[in-house]
Structure 1
Amino acid sequence: MARLVVVPLIALCLMCQVLNAQKKDNRIFIQTNYNEAKDWQLVWQDNFDGISIDTTKWTKVPRGTADWDRHMSYDDKCYALKDGMLYLRGINNPDKNNDTSRYLTGGIYSKGKFAFQYGKIEIRAKLECGKGAWPAMWMLAEQEKYGKYPRNGEIDIMEHLNFDSIIYQTTHSYYTLELKQPNNPPHFGTAKLDVSGFNTFGINWYPDKIVFTLNGQETFTYPRVKDVDPSQWPYDQPFYVLLDMQLGGNWVGSINPGHLPVQMIIDWVKVYQ
């Protein structure tokens, strides 16, 4: 059961009342009050300074049957930490005796280890390009408050396709997918990025809107709207974080094996409330 963290009055003043009542169950951070005009306070981060993935924060994504996870692998060749960076790779499978998949990809998620409700997340990373490359940073509900997917929604902080000079920033839900309401309000935007270098991808998440950002600039806002089906806003519960170097699928298209390996290189992940 979640417990309230009681903070002394002086500390509250120092934090500009951003964290007036933050619930915290070791791994779940729920901001119960916020003020857009006040400063954010760092509550969770990973700078990837170790020699291996911090398993108190992350788990390697298991393989599934969807386009995004069908090549996911625990193989060490899909992961590396060096010079304070995490490398998530999409590779040609060098040994089909142990795994018959033609391609292997690396991904991590914080499911069961860290989730938050409202606040700001930023991720600094470099995205390598290739035909069929589909790096993604996104979020899913930790506790399935409303039932099975897509009833709890999905927040796509960033998706990048092939050699594009833009990213996609999107929300998905029962409302957009099953009730076919992708434009009331519009559920995605695009933003131009520098594919040759590092960029910082993020969202500012409030009870009434999700503001997507790129390099600190607001790019797209998904608002909570009135007088529509309640499934339009499942974003009132804790979400966990997924970072993965995906390959291929109906949206991104076919994979060119000659463009592999391809990497998403992550410098840090920071969450504020």
Structure 2
Amino acid sequence: MKIAIRILPIGVCLFAPLSFADLADANKPSPVNASNLTSITVHPNWQLVWKDEFSDPTLDTSKWSVEHSCWGGGNEEKQCYTPNKNNVFIQSGNLVLQALYGSSTGPALYPTHPDYLLSHTKTLPFSSGKVLSKGKGDWRYGRMEIRAKLPQGQGTWPAIWMLPTDHIYGTWAASGEIDIMEAVNLGTISDALFDPAVPQSLHTLETRVHGTLHYGATWPDNIYTGSGVILPNKINPADNFHTYAIEWEQGEIRWYVDNYHFLTQRSSHWYSRSKNANGEWITAESDAPFNERFYLILNLAIGGVWPENTNEKGINTSNYPKQLLIDYVRVYECSDTLNTGKGCAAIDPKARILLTQ
């Protein structure tokens, strides 16, 4: 979800957006077509260790914290995240993260900023919801599975992702980020194969979802890699519920949508490095940074550098509210090898594999 970062004192971070050249690269390589894949069977040795089925009438605050901030996510997003009951609520067995069009005022800085004060405010044109499991659900390795229905429309940016609990390798992105699912502008005219000579009515609608890793060093020496995927028959993920998952083991992370394994990234591809006191680059152990605890984040952003500069551009303010619906969140550990997560892989040999830089 996050794009770039400037280095400040320890524990302080400020994100900066992608350049337009980077935005063009963000959709490369071309997305995987799930019609060419085979739906896998999840390995039976995944053991359920944490879940939220959202069956209670209110959010379980023993599992989730609700963010309250208007700092824009570091990506020039246009929403304030609020704890208001019209932005974060349970309805019909789903967690609803609802974006509303209408000015919202709240804290101008992100909650972990040392100068975060509720009296220091900012106003943005939308409000929305964001929940995170930090300190209440933190894991190293496992299968993270989320069933969700995504919103559509120009400017929408739902995300299911993970950040490190302890940042032992340094500030973003030296300690990593795992994006289980992101999508922007679903249902709009896609710019994936845009040809201005072709009438818009004949262009393909946006249906891509994306899986990504962020790693490397602290900004501006960070890097990100991943892939998009198109569901069979170009199904729009906003039309119904779909299951998004990763299987994360020592040295490898795999991405799935509706049990189609579409992407694998391995530690021969990722890395974490930092400078020592002499200014020399030091590379951490081979599977860093994805060998530490991470927590889950669910949010619905509106606007930002990525969605506003792709597809139909900008933000379409019609047809609000927009909703990200979460049916359940389930976390499993591989009962074979809890310390490495290995032994429970379900693999499609046709999935895209990113091996080396």
Which TM-score applies when normalising by structure 1?
A: 0.78
Name the aligned partner's letter for residue 52 of structure 1.
Answer: T
Name the aligned partner's letter for residue 246 of structure 1.
Answer: A
Alpha-carbon distance change, 71 to 272 in structure 1, aligned in 2, over 3 angstroms: same
Name the aligned partner's letter for residue 64 of structure 2.
Answer: W
* 8 Å CA contact 2:105, 2:123 repeated in 1: yes
**Counterpart residue number, 1:210:** 253
Alpha-carbon distance change, 41 to 250 in structure 1, aligned in 2, over 3 angstroms: same
* 8 Å CA contact 2:251, 2:267 repeated in 1: yes
Name the aligned partner's letter for residue 192 of structure 1.
Answer: I
Superposed displacement of residue 75, structure 1 = 2.0
Name the aligned partner's letter for residue 244 of structure 2.
Answer: F
Distance in 1, Cα, partners of 2:269 & 2:157? 34
Q: Which moved more, 1:247-256 or 1:224-233?
A: 224-233
Distance in 1, Cα, partners of 2:104 & 2:68? 19
**Counterpart residue number, 2:212:** 170
Alpha-carbon distance change, 181 to 48 in structure 1, aligned in 2, over 3 angstroms: closer
* 8 Å CA contact 1:160, 1:166 repeated in 2: yes
Q: C-alpha offsets along residues 103-136 of structure 1, whole Å, 9 cap, x if unaligned?
A: 1110100011110000101000001201100000
Determine if the alignment matches structure 1 residue 200 to structure 2 residue 255. Answer: no
Q: Which moved more, 1:168-177 or 1:146-155?
A: 168-177
Alpha-carbon distance change, 176 to 259 in structure 1, aligned in 2, over 3 angstroms: farther
1:1-273 equivalence runs, <5 A: 39-63=45-69, 64-65=71-72, 66-67=74-75, 71-93=80-102, 100-163=123-186, 164-175=206-217, 178-179=220-221, 182=224, 187-193=225-231, 194=235, 195=237, 196-225=239-268, 230=283, 233-253=288-308, 254-273=314-333
* 8 Å CA contact 1:122, 1:270 repeated in 2: yes
Distance in 2, Cα, partners of 1:108 & 1:218? 26
SS of the residue aligned with 1:111?
Answer: coil
Distance in 1, Cα, partners of 2:152 & 2:269? 40
Distance in 2, Cα, partners of 1:128 & 1:75? 19
Give ranges in structure 2 of 5+ residues lacking alignment.
1-41, 107-120, 187-205, 274-282, 309-313, 334-357
Q: What is the RMSD computed on CA atoms of the aligned residues?
A: 2.6
SS of the residue aligned with 2:318?
Answer: helix
Alpha-carbon distance change, 129 to 112 in structure 1, aligned in 2, over 3 angstroms: same
Name the aligned partner's letter for residue 258 of structure 2.
Answer: N
Name the aligned partner's letter for residue 51 of structure 1.
Answer: P
Distance in 2, Cα, partners of 1:73 & 1:44? 25
* 8 Å CA contact 2:173, 2:222 repeated in 1: no
Q: Which moved more, 1:107-116 or 1:217-226?
A: 217-226
Superposed displacement of residue 177, structure 1 = 6.3
SS of the residue aligned with 2:306?
Answer: coil
Distance in 2, Cα, partners of 1:74 & 1:41? 32
Superposed displacement of residue 40, structure 1 = 0.4
Name the aligned partner's letter for residue 132 of structure 1.
Answer: G
Count of aligned pairs between the two proteins: 234
Q: What is the percent sequence identity of the aligned residues?
A: 31
Distance in 1, Cα, partners of 2:222 & 2:298? 27
Distance in 1, Cα, partners of 2:298 & 2:219? 23
Give ranges in structure 1 of 5+ residues lacking alignment.
1-35
Superposed displacement of residue 144, structure 1 = 1.0
Distance in 2, Cα, partners of 1:117 & 1:227? 17
Distance in 2, Cα, partners of 1:256 & 1:190? 23
Alpha-carbon distance change, 76 to 219 in structure 1, aligned in 2, over 3 angstroms: same
